Structure formats: C-alpha cells, structure tokens
Amino acid sequence: MRDPFRAICDDELERRWIWISLIMAFVMGGILGLYAVGNNLHPPSNVETIDSSRLHLTEEFAEDNLGVKENDDGSLTVTMVAARYGFFPPVIEVPSDTPVKFRIASADVLHGVHVPFTNATSMIVPGYISEINTSFPTAGKYSFLCNEYCGLGHDSMWSRLNVVPKAEFILVVPEPEEEEAEAEEDVGDFQI
Ligand SMILES: [Cu+2]
C-alpha cells in the first residue's frame, strides 16, 4: 500500500512518526470513549439560565429552600449553591437506589462537581443551572468535590454526601411554624 503521507513528506523516518502520533491520538480518544460509555457518563444536557448575583433572591436557590426535597413520584431533587469555597448545604443525605436530581447554581465563579466512584460529575458555570440525574446503588459516605480550579481555597472546596440504605432513609423537612415560634421566644428572652 502506498503511504498517503508520501505526497507531503519525503523522509521515511518522519512519515513513521506521523503514523505513530496519529495512532497514539486515536488510542487515547478510544480509551476516553470506552471510559465514558463504560461509566455511563453523559454530557450535560440541561440549558437553563439564572442570574448568579441574585441567587438568594430567587425562590429555588434562596438559603431556606436549599437541600433535599421529595417529588410526587418518590424521586428526590437536591438544590445546592456552589460558592467559593464550599457547597451549600454542606451535608446532603439521600437514600440508595432512588433517582436523584441535583440542581446546582454557582454564586460566583466557575466551579465543578464530582462524586468519586459514581457517574455524578458536571461543570457549574455561573449564569446556568447544572442538572445531574443519577442514583446511588451503594450506601456509604461520599465526597462532593469541586473539580474546577476556582481560587486559592479550591483545595478545601468539598462537602459530604451520605447515601443511606433506602429502608433507613427519613427525609427531615424543616417546619416553618416551629422556627417562627423559636424566633418569637428569642425576642422574648432578649426583652427580659
Ligand atoms: Cu473549586
């Protein structure tokens, strides 16, 4: 077979290296493809914009509304804010074998999220809401890591994800009435 690179390169050794570098590029691309398919990784498909500087004024990403919520179909939605240098709320608890949708927005710069040993990974781009749809078959303590360099404190930007066995999971829903009552009590103490 005639070497197709003969037309652009006369030197035999150089042509050999062109082939070697092309083969290396294809092998590396193939490994990436196999890894992505084998680990069930998908490119993010949700395109939803939000004003990152006003997250606290939105209903969904206001501080009181962050955390785990149960949907009508039994799946869970976890709403989180990524900000230098942490994820809020800092500890999340979800049951195993249950569909979980993470909705995460950045309050400042580009962040990322990666949960090692799972397929949960995404960039968190300011101005967009990142969505990750996954479920965790194995109960345990997982780390929720930022994997995009976001500043000097990036190394310590991580939080905890506890996956508890489905039968043991109890969703704690804060009751607003109680909080109000406590607040009134506090004011009463202060006046005395
Ligand atoms: Cu970071």
CATH number of the domain within which 80 lies: 2.60.40.420
Encode pLDDT of 119-178 as tens digits. 888 999 999 999 999 999 999 999 999 999 999 999 999 999 999 998 888 887 766 655
Complete DSSP assignment for 81-92: EEETTEEESSEE
What is the 144 CA–ligand 1 centroid distance (Å)?
11
Please give the distance, rounded to the nearest whole angstrom, from the Cα atom of residue 6 to the centre of ligand 1.
48
Question: What is the whole-number distance in angstroms between the Cα of residue 166 and the centre of ligand 1?
Answer: 31
Residue range of the domain that includes 11: 4-38
Is 43 or 15 the better-scoring residue by pLDDT?
15
Backbone angles phi, psi at 42, to 5 degrees: -125, 145
Q: Tell me whether residue 82 is exposed, middle or buried, using C-beta atoms within 10 angstroms of its C-beta: 0 to 12, 13 to 18, 19 or more.
A: buried
Q: Are residues 9 and 97 in the same domain?
A: no
CA of 155 to the centre of ligand 1 (A): 7
- CA dist 109 and 93 (Å) reads 26
* Same domain for 100 and 20: no
**Residue with tokens 């939080």, as numbered in its chain:** 159
Q: Which residues contact 36 (CB under 8 A, 6 or more apart)?
A: none
- Assess whether 34 and 56 both reside in one domain: no
